[in-house]
Structure 1
Amino acid sequence: MVFTGRMLKRLRLLSGMKQSHVAELLQVTQATISRWEAGLLTPSENQTAALECLFEKVPPSADAALRRLVEMSTAKVHLICDYSHRLLAASPSRRAEWRRELLGLPMLRYASDEIQEAERSLTDLGWYDGQTASLLVDTGPNRRDDVPIVAGRVLWERIPLADGAMGRLVTTLT
Structure 2
Amino acid sequence: MLYTGRALKRLRLVNGMKQSHVAELLQVTQATVSRWETDVLTPSEDQQRALQRLFARQTAVDAALKRLVETSTARVHLICDHSHRLLAASPSRRAEWRREMLGMPMFRYASEEIRKAESELAGIGWHEGRVASLVVETGPNGRDDVPIGAGRVLWEKIPFADGAMGRLVTTLA
Q: TM-score range by the shorter chain?
A: 0.5 to 0.7
Residue 103 (str. 1) matches residue 102 (str. 2): yes
Residues 92-142 of structure 1: CA deviation (Å, up to 9, x unaligned) = 000000000000000000000000000000000100000000000000000
Distance, in Å, in 2 between the alignment partners of 1:136 and 1:142 is: 17
Residues 20-71 of structure 1: CA deviation (Å, up to 9, x unaligned) = x9xxxxxxxxxxxxxxxxxxxxxxxxxxxxxxxxxxxxx8973211100000
Distance, in Å, in 2 between the alignment partners of 1:162 and 1:100 is: 29
Distance, in Å, in 2 between the alignment partners of 1:81 and 1:92 is: 19
Deviation at residue 163 of structure 1 after TM alignment: 2.4
Distance, in Å, in 2 between the alignment partners of 1:134 and 1:160 is: 13
Alignment of 1:23-62 (within 5 A): 62=58
Residue 15 (str. 1) matches residue 16 (str. 2): no
Which letter does structure 2 place at the counterpart of 1:138?
E
Deviation at residue 172 of structure 1 after TM alignment: 0.2
Residue equivalent to 1:67: 66
Residue equivalent to 1:55: none
Distance, in Å, in 2 between the alignment partners of 1:166 and 1:139 is: 23
Which letter does structure 1 place at the counterpart of 2:25?
S
What secondary structure does 1:15 align onto?
helix
Percent identity between the two aligned chains = 71
Residue equivalent to 2:3: none
Which letter does structure 2 place at the counterpart of 1:15?
L
CA RMSD after TM alignment: 1.9
Which structure has the greater CA radius of gyration? 2
- In the comparison of the two structures, how many residue pairs are matched? 121
Which letter does structure 1 place at the counterpart of 2:135?
L
Q: Which runs of 5+ in 1 are unaligned?
A: 1-13, 22-58
What secondary structure does 2:99 align onto?
coil
What secondary structure does 2:83 align onto?
coil
Residues 62-100 of structure 1: CA deviation (Å, up to 9, x unaligned) = 321110000010000000000000000000000000000
Which letter does structure 1 place at the counterpart of 2:108?
R
Residue equivalent to 1:50: none
Deviation at residue 15 of structure 1 after TM alignment: 3.2
Residue equivalent to 1:28: none
Residue equivalent to 2:16: none
Q: TM-score, normalised by structure 2?
A: 0.66
Residue 132 (str. 1) matches residue 131 (str. 2): yes
What secondary structure does 1:123 align onto?
helix
Distance, in Å, in 1 between the alignment partners of 2:26 and 2:163 is: 13
Q: TM-score, normalised by structure 1?
A: 0.66
Distance, in Å, in 2 between the alignment partners of 1:171 and 1:68 is: 16
What secondary structure does 2:116 align onto?
helix
Give the 4+ runs in structure 1 shifted more than 2 A.
14-17, 59-63
